[in-house]
């Protein structure tokens, strides 16, 4: 897996490559609801389809948010905040393994998720000036 970092406007994403489809994807940003597009679900679906399992670190705390929540918060930023640098992150402190397990349940998928210890990093970008719906709110009903 190739992981890199980019900044575009005020958000963060981790770029990944899915060998099964030959397409780039994103991980650690948008755990969107459907596979087949450029998002975390697609990346996880791809990994599980290709390898039969997903390795997910208990020591990686990715910056992430659901796309509709990001769009709403970006709109609020444009409408109500002065120009500047803002970080949108809806992860209150879940590690990647927890996120993948919860997404698997939310998506009604039977992904085989293996806990790992690497990578060991915290990519969360806490910025209390702008509110965004936390990812755990999406998991409450699943």
* Domain boundaries defined on the chain: 4-139
pTM, two decimal places? 0.75
pLDDT of 92 > 90? The answer is yes
End-to-end CA gap in the chain: 29
Cα–Cα distance for residue pair 63/90, rounded to 1 Å: 7
Which range has the worst mean pLDDT, 29-33, 54-58, 96-100? 29-33
Which residues 6+ apart lie within 8 Å of 141 measured at CB?
Answer: none
Element containing residue 73 per DSSP (H, E): helix 67-80
Tell me the pLDDT of the chain averaged across its residues.
77
What is the sign of the dihedral through the CA atoms of 135, 23, 1 and 104? positive
Cα gap 73→2, rounded to integer Å: 29
CA angle 34, 73, 30 (to 5 degrees): 25
């Amino acid at each position: 897996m190739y992981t890199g970092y980019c900044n575009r406007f005020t958000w963060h994403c981790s770029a990944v490559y899915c060998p099964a489809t030959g397409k780039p994807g994103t991980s650690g940003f948008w755990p969107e609801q459907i596979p087949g597009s450029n998002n975390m679900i697609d990346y996880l679906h791809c990994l599980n389809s290709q390898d039969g399992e997903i390795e997910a670190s208990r020591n990686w705390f990715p910056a992430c948010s659901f796309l509709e929540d990001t769009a709403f918060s970006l709109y609020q930023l444009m409408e109500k905040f002065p120009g500047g640098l803002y970080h949108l992150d809806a992860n209150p402190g879940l590690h990647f393994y927890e996120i993948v397990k919860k997404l698997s349940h939310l998506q009604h998928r039977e992904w085989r998720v293996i806990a790992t210890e690497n990578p060991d990093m915290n990519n969360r970008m806490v910025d209390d000036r702008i509110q965004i719906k936390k990812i755990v709110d999406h998991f409450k009903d699943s």
